[in-house]
Chains A and B, each alone.
Chain A
Amino acid sequence: MSYLPFFVVAWILGVGLYGIVTSRHLVHQIICLIVVQSSTYVLLLGVGYVTGAVAPYFYDIPLHTPAVDPVVQALALTDVVVEAAVTALLLAFAIQAHKRFGTLDPHELVELKG
């Protein structure tokens, strides 16, 4: 199937967004955001794939072996680590919200006025 990875990307995005929209717990929302971010990694790597090619590391294979696109791999690689740190920042904000309002329910957080 030549379009299956892109359908899976749309599915993961939709499922993650559904989890965020119907969530009753801030940490549950953060984890669903992680799922949505993971869909972009699959999309990046799916775009750069070449059928029948190997990984772009020429340490032990001949120099002009057909290899997949390294640019999208570089993007996805830094993406994964940096978004983990941003998720940690979101968790710190969730802890702050819990300390201030005593609840992690996003519906109740909207109604309280500090």
Chain B
Amino acid sequence: MTPALRRGLFLVGIAGFLAFYLWGLTRLPGFGRYPGPYGFVINRIAVGETNATGVVSAVNFEYRGFDTVGEEFILFAAATGVATVLRHLRDEQEGGGSETVFGEPSSGTTDAVRLASLVFVGPVALFGWFLASHAQTSPSGGFQGGVVLATAFVLIYLAGQFLSFRRISPADLTDSVGSVGAAGFAAIGLTAVVLGFAYLYNFLPLGTVPGAVSSSGTIALISFFVGIEVAAAFILIVGELVEQTLLIRTAGRQS
């Protein structure tokens, strides 16, 4: 199939798709004219029912908590898949050995990059923790907080301190923490079943003031577990990719 034929076929396909899309677009009520009652209903009753002022996180972890369990396990499976594929690749290249040779990391980073990265590690980690623990009050949540927390670890790597990065996030510890996060979320749902309610029912006390950190029951707890799971998953992914680059560097130097 020549590139011109491929491009022609694509244009025909996208023209057909666009025809159906524009035909369906005429039935929509237009941008900004939201008709459906569900959004209005949730906005009215969410704060009263769950004592959480962050309605999006309440929807995520309470009203649609079951879908969030599924999404979190997609993330967990993807991180495990990356670890499996890349560790298998690493073992193939070393001929089955399990110890990688850590050469001296060639620090091509300048002092400015190193200083900036190291200065920001603390505040970024604190900010990620703040985001993961305040899901019910303000625009935050486990997912964003977890990624920001992982970014703090990546900053350590960017500062040229690869050995420190591997020392504080070894593969076994990252695996365990990620598993604890994923299992914790599922376990909270199962605890609700054990207590006689439905799966992921909000069984913890809801607190008195809407929007306090200790209010909204299981939402805060689920957000904490999701935060550590997402952080562990991303640290695992970045760690595996970084080890791939370092391995080739040392192998190249020895040959």
Contacts and interface: CB of A to CB of B under 8 A. Distances in A.
A touches B (Cβ under 8 A): yes
Interface of A: 1-6, 10, 14, 17-18, 21-22, 46-51, 55-59, 63-64, 67-71, 73-74, 77-82, 84-86, 88-89, 91-93, 95-96, 99
Interface residues of B, number: 64
A105 to B, nearest CB: 12
A70 B89 contact: no
B60 A57 contact: no
A3 B21 CA distance: 12
Nearest to B28: A6
Given A21-B7, A88-B78, A96 B89 contact: yes
A22 B5 CA distance: 11
Interface in B60-80: 60, 64, 67-68, 71-72, 74-75, 78-79
25 contacts: A2-B33, A17-B10, A50-B32, A51-B32, A51-B33, A58-B210, A63-B47, A67-B55, A71-B39, A71-B64, A73-B56, A74-B60, A77-B141, A79-B71, A81-B143, A81-B230, A82-B72, A82-B74, A85-B237, A88-B82, A89-B85, A92-B82, A92-B240, A99-B89, A99-B93
Given A50-B39, A69-B36, A71-B38, A81 B144 contact: yes
A49 B31 contact: yes
Interface in B1-58: 3, 6-7, 10, 14, 18, 21-22, 25, 28, 30-34, 36, 38-39, 42-44, 46-47, 53-58
A63 B186 CA distance: 32
A86 B79 CA distance: 8
Interface in B69-101: 71-72, 74-75, 78-79, 81-82, 85-86, 89, 92-93
Contacts of A85: 74-75, 78-79, 82, 233-234, 237
A50 to B, nearest CB: 5
